[in-house]
C-alpha cells in the first residue's frame, strides 16, 4: 500500500495494525505471514497494512529503524509499537485488549 492509501484507511479505521518491512528480510516475512493470518481472523474489525520501510515516507515520519516494526493505532493515534517480530498470540492479545477497552 502507498502512504496515501494507508493514511486514508487509518483515518477511516478505529483499530489498525501497520507493519513496516524490508523485502527479503526473513523476520519480516515471518511477521507478514502472522499478520495475514490475523487479518483473516479480524476481517472487518481491524485494518491491517504492510508498508515497505525503504519506499514509504510514513516510515521516516515515524522514525522506523529496526524491522519488522509493528504499530497499533486507535482512531489514527499510535497506542503502541514493537520493533521486533511478535507472535500471533502477542498481537492477538493486544488487539483483544484494545477491542475490549475501546469498543
Over residues 8-22, the mean pLDDT reads 87
* CATH number reported for the structural domain that contains residue 16 in this entry: 3.40.30.10
Q: Which domain holds residue 96?
A: 3-102
Tell me the C-alpha distance between 62 and 78, whole Å.
10
SS3 state at 92: helix
pLDDT at 1: 65
Total of domains in the chain: 1
Mean of the per-residue pLDDT values for the chain?
Answer: 91
Q: β-pairing, 15-21 with 47-52? A: parallel
Q: 63-98, pLDDT tens digit by residue?
A: 998 999 999 999 888 889 999 999 999 999 999 999
Amino acid at each position: 500500500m502507498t502512504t496515501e492509501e494507508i493514511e486514508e484507511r487509518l483515518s477511516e479505521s478505529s483499530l489498525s495494525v501497520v507493519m513496516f518491512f524490508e523485502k527479503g528480510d526473513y523476520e519480516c516475512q515471518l511477521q507478514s505471514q502472522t499478520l495475514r493470518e490475523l487479518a483473516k481472523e479480524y476481517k472487518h474489525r481491524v485494518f491491517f497494512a504492510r508498508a515497505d520501510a525503504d519506499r514509504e515516507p510514513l516510515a521516516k515520519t515515524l522514525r522506523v529503524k529496526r524491522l519488522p516494526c509493528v504499530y497499533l493505532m486507535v482512531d489514527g493515534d499510535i497506542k503502541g509499537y514493537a520493533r521486533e517480530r511478535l507472535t500471533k498470540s502477542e498481537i492477538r492479545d493486544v488487539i483483544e485488549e484494545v477491542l475490549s477497552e475501546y469498543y
